[in-house]
Amino acid sequence: MKEPRRADGAQNQRTGEAPTHDPIMREQEPGGHANSRNKPKKGSCGGAGENREEPHRAETSIAPYRHIPSASEDGESSLVEDWNETQQLPAGAGAETPVGRGTTGKRRRRRWTRRPTWMDRAPFLTAARRYLRDVRAFYRESMLERYGRDLRTVYRDLQALGVETTPAKLREGHIKGLLLRWQTRTTTHGGPMEAASQEKLLTVLDGFLTWMGNPVVSRMRQQRHVRFPHAVPKPIQVLNPEDLARLREAAEGTSGWPGRVARFLVAFLPYSGLRPKEIRLARLADLDLGRGRILVSHPKGENAWAAPDYAPIPPPAREALEDFLAEREAYLAGESCEWLIPLRRYRGTEPTGPWSAAMLRKLKAELQSRSGVSFRGLKTFRATFAQSAKDGGATIEAVSRAMRHRSTKTTEAFYARIRADDAFREIERAFEKPVVRIERT
């Protein structure tokens, strides 16, 4: 049974809009005109050869039939029904034009997703804590701690500038104020802030503000006149034998279990090349004293791009390790602990987990204060190991392998390279040729 046709004045039931009577919107047959529907047709249902005029049909808001010249020889052409499909026009006719239900032939503008309303009102530190919780799955715990410290530093600088706005509403003027302050204020060490530190703070702030839906730093990077600070290569800092002797003397003056740990670190790290995290999380089962090895079970890049690997224990480091193991046994008093450097939080309690990174930093600060030797961190012992091995005649390939680097470029760039005196001495030997003098007659 055929569906009854609607009258001209009937309202479109699908869209609720009144019908249009514009003659341009009337359906056209291929090759015909707007009024071709009123011409008589042959072979209609009224009988063969009978001319019969079709009744006028009501106009609707359904998009009109379009004849596609590039259709097949059978005259097959279809109207794009899907909302996401596009009508391909002939070559030279322009870009793809969307057609279909409810389309007007124009591209729809992308709607920007508005950030949650809490972001506009959240204070800096509250939003920073939520940001760190949200990205916890993508970074190591130590990296998250550093990001937290950097964001707190940025917050204190904003407070010093008198900026009370929320992070979602920070603008270019606020970023410029931060840069000027970082270039002029002194750090806790008493000197100006280095360009590397400024770059790190800005990178952390950029990630935080982008997460907040405020990519102001990213937009500033795209401006050609903006020049953000960048780290410059610095000389490799190593500790000479005099510095190491002063640090050992300072460790001897530290009492209790922290003093024993300090003596072990000062005597072991410069001869093993381990990172602070790697020795902090080392287990007793990782030691292989028979082969003179230690398994680095928690390397840098753990669960990302690095796997556990062995590091050497040369004779000077082996002697320090054996002395520490004896002190460790006395400290535990018969109790067991899996960590190489155990920690008893309270007297009389069982030894628990390893030392925290903050505890090692505090121990380093105490050593620096007692000895008067200024160094950047316990990682300086790693560079001291590499440079001492290179000066002792080890090849750069051997040093790189002992430090578990993928390439010698990393070793030479950040840890060990030929010293200037040695390089100049080799240059002089290369040009040591007998001088031939020709006497004139």
- Residue 178 CB partners (closer than 8 Å, separation 6+): 154, 157, 158, 161, 205
- The lowest-confidence range among 11-15, 203-207, 327-331, 409-413 is 11-15
Is the pLDDT at 192 greater than 70? The verdict is yes
The answer to whether the CB of 360 falls within 8 A of the CB of 276 is yes
CATH number of the 241-425 domain? 1.10.443.10
110 by DSSP, 3-state: which? coil
Q: Is the pLDDT of residue 108 over 70?
A: no
In this prediction, residue 424 carries a pLDDT of: 84
How sure is the predictor about 258, in pLDDT bands with cuts at 50, 70 and 90?
very high
Class of residue 14 by CB neighbours under 10 A (exposed 0-12, middle 13-18, buried 19+): exposed
Q: pLDDT band at residue 50, thresholds of 50, 70 and 90?
A: very low
101 Cβ contact list (under 8 Å, min separation 6): 62, 63, 81, 83
The pTM for the full model equals: 0.62
Q: What is the pLDDT of residue 117?
A: 80
Q: Closest Cα partner for 202 from 185, 224, 227, 223? A: 227
pLDDT mean over 194-207: 96
Token representation of residue 414:
């950040």
Q: Mean pLDDT check: name the lowest of 133-137, 290-294, 304-308.
A: 304-308
193 and 183 Cβ atoms separated by less than 8 Å: yes
Token pair 């070559």 in the structure block, residue: 91
pLDDT band at 154 (very low <50, low <70, confident <90, very high): very high
User: Would you state the pLDDT for residue 88?
Assistant: 46
Give the pLDDT of residue 421.
78
Q: What percent of the chain has pLDDT over 90?
A: 54
Contact 30, 75 (CB under 8 A): yes
Is residue 357's pLDDT more than 80? yes
| pLDDT for the residue numbered 242 | 96
What would the pLDDT profile of 225-246 be if each residue is shown by its tens digit?
Answer: 999 999 888 788 899 999 999 9
H/E stretch holding 296: strand 293-296
Out of 32-41, 343-352, 365-374, 412-421, least confident range: 32-41
Sequence letter at residue 36: S
51-101 pLDDT per residue, tens: 444 445 544 444 544 444 444 344 433 333 343 444 444 444 444 445 444
Summarised one tens digit per residue, pLDDT across range 269-289 is 999 999 999 999 999 999 999
Does residue 19 contact residue 11 with C-beta atoms inside 8 Å? yes
pLDDT for res 396 = 92
**Contact call for residues 269 and 314 (beta carbons, < 8 A):** no
Contacts of 257 (CB under 8 A, 6+ apart): 331, 344
Q: In the chain, what percentage of residues exceed pLDDT 70?
A: 72
b/e burial code for range 346-356 (CB count within 10 A of at least 16 → b): eeeeebeebbe
Exposure class string for 287-306: b at 16+ Cβ within 10 A, else e: beeeeeebbbebbeebeeee
Q: What is the mean pLDDT of the chain?
A: 80
| Phi, psi values for residue 97, rounded to 5° | -115, 120
pLDDT value at 104 more than 60: no
Q: What is the pLDDT of residue 277?
A: 93
Identity at 354, one-letter amino acid code: P
The least confident of 25-34, 125-134, 161-170 is 25-34
Q: What is the pLDDT of residue 289?
A: 92
pLDDT at 435: 62
- pLDDT higher for 329 or 49? 329
- Whole-angstrom distance, CA of residue 315 vs CA of residue 324: 14
Of 79 and 436, the structure prediction assigns the larger pLDDT to: 436
Q: Tell me the angle at which helices 241-252 and 256-268 cross, rounded to the nearest 10 degrees.
A: 160
Backbone angles phi, psi at 246, to 5 degrees: -65, -35
Tell me how far apart the alpha carbons of residues 148 and 358 are, in angstroms, rounded to a whole number: 13
pLDDT beyond 50 at 301: yes
Q: How many CB atoms lie within 10 A of CB 249?
A: 12
pLDDT band at 47 (very low <50, low <70, confident <90, very high): very low
